[in-house]
Homo-oligomer: A and B are copies of this chain.
Amino acid sequence: MEFTIQRDQFTHAINTVSKAVSSRTTIPILTGIKIVAHEDGIILTASDSDISIEQYIPAESGEHQWIENITPGSIVLPSRFLGEIVRKLPGEQVTISVHDRFVTTISSGRSQFNLNGMNAEDYPRLPQIEENQVLSMPADLLKTMIRQTVFAVATTETRPILTGVMWSLENGELTFVATDSHRLTTRKATVESAAGLSFHNVVIPGKSLLELSKILSDDDKLVDIVITDNQILAKVNQILFYSRILDGTYPDTSRIIPQNMKTEMILSTKEFLGAIERASLLARDGKNNVVRLFTRPDGVIEISSNIPEVGTVTEEIVPSSTEGEDVKISFNAKYMIDSLRVVDSTEIRIGFTGAMSPFIIRPTDHDWILHLILPVRTNQ
């Protein structure tokens, strides 16, 4: 194998696939990046046991000549060294050539590296996916939906299924659900899909979605998504992103969302977030970051907290409107901050159903987002 490639293109592709390289793996070849050269371009592949990323670089694209002098072949090179070396090479072009026993020369300008490569035949095959059931959505929408749900997945493995975000599709409406059993978030959107395509209980690891998010652009370029029994494939910009799907049944969360509110109030998202962030400065990590909220007789909402040896904090907010009973409730400030930071609307509506029952946060300008938080019992 041999080729000469524009260094910037190569660096960018190595950075993209490197997101799938695990530094800790029991399979040595997975610490490497597989490079396959064809007449028309090269393909880089990296994988850990959860995700795999494949990037194609065409030899020519429009007026640009990215790769020259290709002799087809393949090699696996150690990813950490490859990335650092290519990033620091002096020239605009890099030449890669494989010799006997997989020794590979990387040269650029007056710089020459010889790396011990591995046999690409030993690299695990990526899953084969049939592409007749495709779902399409803009990259920025997918990125937003991930951001607005993934923070709520469980971070412990007590119930492994909760470390993922549950996707479902019905009548062209895609829904993401995440919960760690203390709070829940849902996000819906209308998407383009193959006629009659529907699924449920497709649970994708939160970590995979965070990595996918990093390679999604902030524009409306369409991402094609294919879902099989145990894999999801997302295709965008010459990149194939594969993730495993979690085994198991996601809990039915629809029933825990209360329908009849005792109190509803509308608040400025930014003001409320500021008040909760400040109150949380004097809420102790070890004690669930508890802050208290109650409606005063004059209609002002008061949020307070304290750390006994340090001091106390009191915040006031005037809601845009309040309906129903007075509220007195305690909750984990971190959950509220997480929710308020991802709601992109200027106002939110909070619905309470009692001091010991879950409460609901929704934006006032659309119905695509719903967050639920369980309150905390306190002795105060």
Contacts and interface: CB of A to CB of B under 8 A. Distances in A.
A275 interface: yes
A97 to B, nearest CB: 14
Residue from A81, A111, A274 whose CB has the most chain B CB atoms within 10 Å: A111
Contacts of A113: 278, 281-282, 311-313
A171 interface: no
Interface string A244-278: 00000000000000000000000000010011011
Interface string A193-209: 00000000000000000
Contact of A81 (B81, B112, B271, B310): B310
A317 interface: yes
B111 A309 contact: no
Contact of A90 (B103, B115, B274, B314): B274
Interface residues of A, number: 31
B281 A116 contact: no
A24 interface: no
A29 to B, nearest CB: 14
A110 interface: yes
A309 B310 CA distance: 56
Contact of A84 (B274, B281, B316): B281
Given A282-B81, A315-B110, A315-B111, A116 B277 contact: no
B278 A116 contact: no
A114 B317 CA distance: 18
A78 interface: yes
A311 B104 CA distance: 9
Interface string A340-368: 00000000000000000000000000000
Interface string A18-32: 000000000000000
A88 interface: yes
Contacts of A278: 85, 88-90, 111, 113
Interface string A286-329: 00000000000000000000000111111111000000000000
Given A88-B278, A89-B278, A90-B274, A314 B78 contact: no
Interface of A: 78, 81, 84-85, 88-90, 103, 110-116, 271, 274-275, 277-278, 281-282, 309-317
State the 4 A-B residue pairs at the shortest beta-carbon distance, nearest first: A110-B316, A115-B311, A114-B312, A113-B313
